[in-house]
Every structure is written in C-alpha cells, then in structure tokens.
Structure 1
Amino acid sequence: MHIDLSAKRVIVTGASRGIGRAVATAFAREGVRLAICSRSADTLEAVAEDLRALGAAEVIAVPLDVRDTAAVRAFTAQVAEAWGGVDVLVNNAGQGKGGSLETLEPEDILDHADNIQVAHFRFVQAVVPHMRKQKWGRIININALAGALPTPDGIPSVTNRAAGIALSKLLGQQLAKDNILVNSLNMGWIDTGQWDRHYKEMPSTISREEFLEMVVKIVPLGRFGRPEEVAHVCLFLASDLASFLSAASIDVSGGLQGAIAYYPTLKREMQDLGRAREAALAAE
C-alpha cells in the first residue's frame, strides 16, 4: 500500500534537529511543500537546503519562537498565502523540563507550558481556519509518554505533557466534524540529544555506555527508538490511510508502559553508585 503525500502542504515546528528534523526529512522525501520553523536561526536555512535536496517541492523556513502568538499567526498566514492553504501540522517544538516541589517556582511550570500545550494551541488555532475551508486537515501533536503514564519526577514535563495529550483528545473530537483529525504521539526513549543532557547529570565515574544501558533496561524492545521511526508514524497519520483516526493517544515507546515510573529510581541509584565510586577513589 502506497502513501502519496506529494500534493500536501505541511508545517513542522521545531524542525532544526532531533525528531522535528527527522519528521521534516520524511515529508521532504515525499515531495511535499514544507514549511519549517525553529528558534535556531543559524541552522534553519541549512536544514532547508537539505530538505530541498531530498525532494521537497518547496520549502519555507522561518526563525520563530512558538511562544510568540503574533509570530505564529504571521508564519501560518505566510504559508497559507503562498500555497493556498495548509494540510498538515506537526506540533513538535518543545522539550522536557525537570524539577520538584523543592526546586521549582510556579513560573517555571507556566513557562514550560507556554512551550508545550499552549504552543500547540497557538498553531492549531492558526491553521484550523485554512483546514476548515478545504474540509481536510491533519494535526499531529508530539507529546511524551510521561504525560500519559506519569512518573514521580519532573513536574513540568509530566503535567504539561498530560495537558498536551488532553488538548489533542479534545480537539480530535471537536474538529472531527470538519474532517480535521487531531492525534497525539507520546514519545518514549527516542535517541536524540536529550540523553546527552541527562548523562551530564551523572558523576564522572559513570560511563556513558552503562548509563545508556540503564536507560533502556525498562524498554521491552531493549533499545532507543530512532527519530525516523517517529517520522514514519507521522507520515501514516498525515495520509488518507488514517482517515478514521482522531483523538487518539499513540505511544511511540517500544512497548514501554508502567515501568517508566521506575526510571527516576534507577537514575538516582546510578548517581549514588557514581558518588560511591568517587568516594572510593578519593580514599585510595
């Protein structure tokens, strides 16, 4: 069965790296007209050139902060005017944020929300009028498994991703009558730069290899997911093959479910092991 998306007009946010870039790459190979944005102005045009070389029919690339409502509306209007509408939106921008009752200020949670579910709302609000005109649209919101299955750590990520999933379900019901289908993809352990950041929280006596082995220990498939594996699901959801799928919450997690709650414990145990190693070395 062949997925033909070549006539589609697609927006991907946070497209300069990681999952967003992989999603944009997959759509480019389908020959779509592709609009990308991110805050990384320095790399965005280089990414756009790569996407053109991969087969995108046209590429619009605009540096953009998804917290800026006026900028989001202007970008969407630019795309719709240039191409006569918008068919697909992939809300990918945003990343995780840790923190506890002891370390967070309320404003930290609000700021993170502005980058996640509120940013999703901004873009949906901007594209829906164009999708309604054509009675066809696909909206894919990239969220996190921790929002569907809360972990006992990382208050901003857990609560704001949960809100993002709830927003997707609500919109998937509300907009279905207009043939605008909205679904949430909830990321498990995907091999992106975030794991480099997590590893930096480890004592120097913990090797990167044993850290990563600990991370995937709770994944039934026994490995990280690849960004292109997320992109493949996006292609399906953007196609007519997914014509009866809306308000769905889909875990892209290699089978990882409730065991995600054990990850903070495993992480702390490894940090303790690293500190014990440091103490032993200092005592020699």
Structure 2
Amino acid sequence: MQLTLDGRKALITGGSKGLGLAMGLAFAKAGGHVALVARGADALEAAKAEIQAAAPAARVAAIPADIRTAEGCAAAAAAAAAAIGPIDILVNNAGTSQRGPFMDISDALWEDDLNLKLMAAVRLCRAVLPGMQQRRWGRIINVLNIGAKAPLATSTPTSVSRAAGMALTKALANEYAPHNVLVNALLVGIIESDQWVRRHAADKRNITWEEWKEEQGRSVPLGRIGKAEEFAAMALMLASEQGGYVTGTAINVDGGRSPVV
C-alpha cells in the first residue's frame, strides 16, 4: 500500500527540525504541499530547501512565527493559506520539554508551556476547522508525549499540557467526525530528534552520541530509540486517505516503552 496525499496542503508547527522536518519531507514526497512554521528563520529556510530538493513538485513555505501568542497563530495560519492554499492537514508539533520539581515551576513557566503546547493548538485548530468543515475533509494531528498517559514525577508542566492536548484531541474528534474531519494524537517516546540531541549535549559524562543512544535504547522493549522517519511514516498514514477510518485515537510511537496502551 502506497500512502498518498494527492495535493493536500499541510501546516506543520515546529517544522524546521527533528520530527517536524521529517513529517514535512514525508508529506511532500507523498504528493502534498507543506507550510513549515517555527521561530527560527534560518533553520526554516534550510528545512524548506531540503524538502524542495527531495520533492521538487511540492509547494513549500517557510513561515517564521511565534505561536505562543494569538497574533502569532493568526499570522501563521493566514500566511500558510496564502502560500500553499487552504489547509487540509494541521500538525500541532511545536513544543519543548519543560519540567522540574513541582514547587520550582513558576506561573510564568506554566503559562509559557500551556501557551505553546495547548493554546497554540487550540488557536490553530480554530483557524483551519471552518475550511475543513466546509470542504468536508480534514486531518488534525496533535504531537504529544507518552507522559500524557503516564506522567512521571517532576514532569510538570509538560505532562499536564500534553494530557490536555489528548483531551482536546478526543473532544474535537467527536465533534467534527460528522464533517469528515479526523483528529488524532501521536505520543512520542524516545525518538532521534533535536530534543534528544540537546539532552545528549547536556549530559556531563562525555559519552558519544552513539553510546548515548545505545544506553537510552536499553529502556525500550525494541532495544533501540526510534527514528524520526518512523514517526513521520505514522503521521503520514493518519494524514492520508488510507487513514480515513481512524479518529479520536492517541497512538504511542515509543517502541513499546510506555507502561499503558
């Protein structure tokens, strides 16, 4: 089975690196057009060039925006539609792993995390859903973390905002299913991406990236950490026509690491 997008237009937040870039590449190679949204203009342009080289027929837009604000979300959604056309697929992928002892997390950190991971998704969904509903076709994919289902100690605020994203996923899936708008979540485990590269860089033991990956892989039943391309393949399935009977799910992409399904 070949997964295809057949000209569908996708807006991907956090699209300049890691999982966002991998999804942009997968979508464009499958015949889609992509608008990448992130804060760093240089990284966005590099990602755009990489995707355009891999899929010359695709329309690719690089849109610098800070989606932690309502104004940033509105500007990003408008720029994406102007660049590639009405948005058929929204991937809410932007986010960082803000965590620490509960008593050390200030109101400002809570607000920043919720604005980036929850309110940005809310606002962007609000921007694209009317068009999806009118055309009777749409896909929304919320990229979360397995901590949304099984939060660990010192995992706030990130696990709380991710759990809220999972509830948003189910509520929207139920509301918009009659309009053929499908809403799902993908829950990330340990996958080779920019976030984990940064964690390796912060490790003070001076071990190599390969040694670090091997060590992390021991906690995964499959015995290794995942690849961004493997995650992107699952996102492509949900975004495609072939994923047309899947909605309201929160799928773990974690090599079996999560203690719950």
| TM-score between both structures, scaled by the size of structure 1 | 0.85
Distance 1:107 1:240, change over 3 A: same
1:138: Cα distance to partner? 0.4
After TM superposition, give the deviation of residue 104 of structure 1 in Å: 1.6
The aligned counterpart of 2:22 is 22
Q: State how far apart, in whole Å, the 1-side matches of 2:9 and 2:207 are.
A: 46
Rounded Cα–Cα distance in structure 1 between residues aligned with 2:252 and 2:205: 33
* Counterpart for residue 38 of structure 1: 38
Report if aligned partners of 1:80, 1:130 keep a CA contact under 8 Å in 2: no
Q: 1:209 Cα deviation (Å)? A: 5.6
- 1:71/1:102 CA distance change after superposition, 3 Å: closer
> Is the Cα–Cα contact under 8 Å of residues 102 and 154 in structure 2 kept in the other structure?
no
Cα offset for 1:24? 0.4
Which whole-Å CA distance do the structure 2 matches of 1:9 and 1:221 have between them? 34
SS in 2 for 1:86: coil
For 1:45, the aligned partner's letter is E
What code does the residue aligned with 2:149 have?
A
Deviates more, 1:175-184 or 1:95-104: 95-104
Give the superposition deviation at 1:173. 1.0
8 Å contact kept, 2:192–2:226: yes
The match for 2:53 is: 53
Percent of aligned positions that are identical? 37
Q: Secondary structure at the match of 2:205?
A: coil
Tell me what 2:130 maps to. Answer: 129
After superposition, the CA RMSD in angstroms is 1.9
Give 2:175's aligned residue: 174
- Structure 1 residues 79, 111: closer, same or farther in 2, change over 3 A? closer
Q: Which residue of 2 aligns with 1:279?
A: none
Q: CA offsets per residue over residues 11-68 of structure 1, 9 Å max, x none?
A: 1111110000000011111232211111011121222122122115211211011112
Shift of 1:82: 4.9
In structure 1, C-alpha distance between the alignment counterparts of 2:64 and 2:241, rounded to whole Å: 31
Whether the aligned pair in 1 keeps the contact of 2:34 and 2:84 (CA below 8 Å) is: no
Residue aligned with 2:102, SS: coil
d(CA) in 2 for partners of 1:226, 1:212: 11
Higher-Rg member (1/2) = 1
Distance in 1 (alpha carbons) for counterparts of 2:207 and 2:61: 43
Whether the 8 Å contact between 2:139 and 2:183 is mirrored in structure 1 is: yes
Per the alignment, do residues 193 and 2 of structure 1 end up closer, same or farther by CA in structure 2, a change over 3 Å counting? closer
1:198 deviates by 2.6
Instruction: Note the alpha carbon deviations across 1:177-222, whole angstroms, 9 max, x for none.
Output: 1111000000000011322333355443666665444422221001
Paired position in structure 1 for 2:250: 249
Distance 1:63 1:256 in 2: 34
Give the corresponding residue for 2:227: 226
Deviations 1:73-127 (CA, angstroms, capped at 9, x unpaired) = 2332333345552111111111211211232212211211111011111111111
5+ residue gaps, structure 1, are 260-284
Separation in 1, partners of 2:252, 2:174: 19
Unaligned runs of 5+ in 2: none
Name the SS of the counterpart of 1:76 in structure 2: helix
Task: Give the Cα separation in 2 of the matches to 1:158 and 1:205.
Answer: 29
- 1:189-228 equivalence runs, <5 A: 189-204=190-205, 211-228=212-229
The Cα offsets for residues 238-269 of structure 1, whole Å up to 9 and x where unpaired, read as 1121112111010000011229xxxxxxxxxx
Distance in 1 between residues matched to 2:64 and 2:209, nearest whole Å: 33
> In the superposition, relative to structure 1, how do residues 73 and 208 fare at CA in structure 2: closer, same or farther (>3 Å)?
closer
- Matched residue, 2:114: 113
Cα separation, 1, equivalents of 2:48 and 2:201: 31
| Separation in 1, partners of 2:169, 2:145 | 12
Task: Provide the C-alpha distance between the structure 1 equivalents of 2:2 and 2:42, rounded to a whole number of angstroms.
Answer: 36
Partner of 1:235: 236
Alignment of 1:6 onto 2:6: yes
- Seen in structure 2, the aligned counterparts of structure 1 residues 49 and 197 have a Cα distance that, compared at 3 Å, is closer
Find the residue that maps to 1:102 and give its secondary structure. Answer: helix
C-alpha distance in 1 between matches for 2:104 and 2:207: 25
Counterpart Cα distance in 2 of 1:79 and 1:209 = 37
Alignment CA distance shift 1:214-1:53 (3 Å): closer
Match of 2:91, as an amino acid? V
